[in-house]
Structure 1
Amino acid sequence: MLMKLKGNARGCLFYEPMFILPYSLFVTYATVYMLELGVTERQIGLITSLGLVLQIGTSLISGHLTDRLGRKKALLLYDLLSWSVATLLWLIADNVWFFITAAVINSFQKVPHTAWICLLVEDTEPKERATVFTVLQFISVVSGLFAPLGGLLVSHFTLVPAVRIMYGMAFVSMTLMFIGRHFATRETEIGLRIKSEKKALQWSVLLRDSWSAVRLIVSNRPLLFMLGVYILYQFQLTMSSTYLSIYLIRHLSLSESFIAWFPAVTSAATLLLMVFVMPRLNPGRSTAYMIIGLLICLAANILLIVAAPGQVVHIVLSTMLAAAGSILVYPNMEAAVQNAMEGENRAHLFSIVSVLILACISPAGLIGGWAYSLDPRIPFVLIAGAFIVSAVLLLISVRAEQRQARRALEQEITHG
């Protein structure tokens, strides 16, 4: 699939494994690493929420910086800051203040994320964008197969030294990736045009443009529904990524080295689905597939909630179902959001969408920390609720589109 892509999409995705592979190694152990260094569950939730709140600010200016600096320059500079510097801080961390500082620096990741999305899709035909995001997920899936290497490092060196090695590997790989990708891509046509017109940041203009973007979003019914689904999806993703590893080790009594196999199970199941199932699906029924995917994710989460300590079969089955659901939801959801934001306002509109998402999901860490302290299963009950509401939103969206299509047809018949 990668060979079918061209231009910036190919240049961006060619180097993506150098980011995703080391990320998939350390992300499984990030919160457990914090616990080992004396950070409490509630402090972990606070740090997660702090990072998300700060990302609201960086998202607000990310569109301006992407337009002012150009997609390529903004991507390179802020990736080096938000990821290369942050991984170094995580590498040498020995108390909560290192993690707080890293959260502040890592919050600038929203600037390169906006720039990367623009670079990825602006010169790509809308009909090819679902393929682009499918390739991205394929890369993530294959990289996830290497996650057990993290478990091997943990079993050999113990948790803290092993995770420090993972962060060191991530620093080297990601930094080289940022530089290589910079030379493999070119500024988009829209980026060149806007860069030449963009002036210094004026807060009054930024706020005025932001309000205009909010009005555009509110008037864009398809984007509004997908934004609701996207917010709920990111909410559950934040809560799950923060507390799942802790839940598996402390509540379900699995070993630290063993939990690294679950990302590999996810990747293997997803890979099989991508090869044998996804090519057979009808692209015109993407909303229906998203609803099915959300219900599958709900079933996976229920299995996780009812699993008893040491009950590996339940967890493996839950992991496989979550993989099946996610591959139906993620590429279709991303493509739907991007297709709803066309034109030269993409960077600014995407930054405002990011602000709205972060404003809604920023309490996820605090809520998760409070809920986990009451009962380790409660965060996953909340996640199950997010899947249910998302499916309902999509059903409402489908029915609204059907009514609109019927009205248009009736008007055409009447005037005809």
Structure 2
Amino acid sequence: MASTRTSLWRTLVELRGNPRACVWTEPLWGLSMALVLPYASVYMLALGLHDAQIGFLATVGMVSQVVFGLAGGIITDRLGRRATTAWFDVVAWVIPCILWAVAQDFWFFLAASLVNGALQVTQNSWDCLMVEDAERHQLTRIYSLVKVAADCSALFAPIAAVLVAQLGLEPAARILYVNAAVVMTVKIVWLYLWSHETRQGRVRMAATRGQSVWTLLAGYRGALGLLLRSRGSLLALAVAALFAAVTLVNGTFWQVVASQHLHVPDALLPFFPMVRSILSVTFFFTLIPLMTAAADLKRATLWGFGVYLAGQLLLVAIPAADGGATPTTYAFLGLCLLLDSFGAGMLFMLSESLVALHVDAGERSRVMALQRTVIMLAAAPFGWISGWLSGIDRTYPFVLTAALLVVGFALVLARWVPTDGHTEPVSA
């Protein structure tokens, strides 16, 4: 176990170039979006939105991501990984944060959701920027470090809790969104100055220079062919799509079920992501490296689906007390966080790594953009569906996620493709 911790620390210290820039600037997420995300859904409720509207906004956001995601490969190849990441981080985060900060009704949130879909462009370009010049054997550790950085960011949650306790939910959330816009701007500038264009990025910029958008769109046919002929890529796509759907539902309604069904006070809501993150970081330096050390990641993926499933079922089973949250409620929620932090952490790293391991290196940008588009299309309906279910019973969205995780477990069990670095068989 000591050696796995050492290898992760060693990777962090020894990273150079773009992987270092991407990983080391990621903790700024904690001083920006991570502070306010625990309040996003209950902030909407406070401004008069209802569950179905919140679920609809989640679906709209996913559909917007589909549109931007399809264009992401072209934009990334034309502008380059570095410039695309900078420009579209502004579009995807800074502008929506300003809209959320001044929101008055449903229409402000709708506009922000539409613009926030641009995150799929920058997710594609940022992934390429981070991994294209990295060593293949470092990929799982790099994605582990990204998850650790994101999880460490939740340690700043008490700042949000103090603001909510002192000012109330609505004014505190508005301040936190303004802060997020400012800090994200700092992160964008810092990453741009610290990074450089990748080797493959320069090749793609040269190859696409002077080509029309329609010609570049036609190139997706070749990328689609590569994707459909690769059994490993199709499996990675299915795993990532299921995980994206579960993440969408949890990100939208976990805080709602805690606040409205289990009667947890608003000021305590950010502590749950903080505890989840502390647990996740602990797992990333202990169990997860041990379980992902093997060349083939099948067993680790099965563990991720199985443990996450247990956490979702337990959340559904927690009894609600009419007089407010009880010590028993918090004990059960703590166990949910323990299970979720391991399962979601494992699946986050593995879903990203599987996509990166199976993708064709020469067409990484377009294939990954196509994959993300399919992932978002598959996940998009679950925002609206979970909103409708939450309007009936606030535990029902998590019955849905449990079913999705069962599907994922069965799929990995039946259709696994090895990731040991050998050339995979290509289907006809």
Range into which the TM-score falls when normalised by the shorter chain: over 0.9
Match for 1:117: what amino acid? D
**1:299: which partner in 2?**
310
* SS in structure 2 of the partner of residue 28 of structure 1: helix
**2:340: which partner in 1?**
322
- Are residues 1:337 and 2:348 paired? no
CA distance in 1 between partners of 2:72 and 2:214 (Å): 16
CA distance in 2 between partners of 1:216 and 1:227 (Å): 13
1:379 to 394, 397, 402: 397
Give CA-to-partner distance per residue, 1:250-272, whole Å, 9 cap, x none.
Answer: 11111111121111211221222
Structure 2 residue ranges without an equivalent (≥5)? 1-8
- Are residues 1:254 and 2:254 paired? no
Contact kept in structure 2, 1:222 and 1:397, CA below 8 Å: no
Shift of residue 19, structure 1, vs aligned partner: 2.2
- Are residues 1:35 and 2:45 paired? yes
1:80 to 85, 90, 95: 90
CA distance in 1 between partners of 2:275 and 2:115 (Å): 32
Match for 1:286: what amino acid? L
TM-score where L is the length of structure 2: 0.90
**2:69: which partner in 1?**
59
1:289 to 283, 286, 300: 300
Shift of residue 348, structure 1, vs aligned partner: 0.7
Question: How many residues are paired up?
Answer: 404
* SS in structure 1 of the partner of residue 266 of structure 2: coil
* SS in structure 1 of the partner of residue 297 of structure 2: helix
**2:130: which partner in 1?**
120
* SS in structure 1 of the partner of residue 117 of structure 2: helix
Contact kept in structure 1, 2:360 and 2:367, CA below 8 Å: no
Shift of residue 170, structure 1, vs aligned partner: 0.7
Contact kept in structure 1, 2:48 and 2:105, CA below 8 Å: yes
TM-score where L is the length of structure 1: 0.93
* SS in structure 2 of the partner of residue 284 of structure 1: coil
CA distance in 1 between partners of 2:105 and 2:360 (Å): 45
Contact kept in structure 2, 1:90 and 1:99, CA below 8 Å: yes
Shift of residue 401, structure 1, vs aligned partner: 5.5
**2:408: which partner in 1?**
390
Contact kept in structure 2, 1:71 and 1:116, CA below 8 Å: yes
Give CA-to-partner distance per residue, 1:167-197, whole Å, 9 cap, x none.
Answer: 1111111001100110100000111121122
**1:135: which partner in 2?**
145
Contact kept in structure 1, 2:298 and 2:418, CA below 8 Å: no
Give CA-to-partner distance per residue, 1:310-356, whole Å, 9 cap, x none.
Answer: 22211111111111212322212211110111322111111111111
* SS in structure 2 of the partner of residue 257 of structure 1: helix
CA distance in 1 between partners of 2:226 and 2:121 (Å): 21
Contact kept in structure 2, 1:269 and 1:323, CA below 8 Å: yes
Greater alpha carbon shift after TM alignment, 206-215 vs 386-395: 206-215
- Are residues 1:308 and 2:326 paired? no
Match for 1:355: what amino acid? T
Match for 1:5: what amino acid? L
**2:29: which partner in 1?**
19
* SS in structure 1 of the partner of residue 285 of structure 2: helix
- Are residues 1:192 and 2:210 paired? no
Provide the aligned C-alpha RMSD in A. 1.9
Contact kept in structure 2, 1:64 and 1:201, CA below 8 Å: no
- Are residues 1:149 and 2:159 paired? yes
- Are residues 1:366 and 2:384 paired? yes
* SS in structure 1 of the partner of residue 49 of structure 2: coil
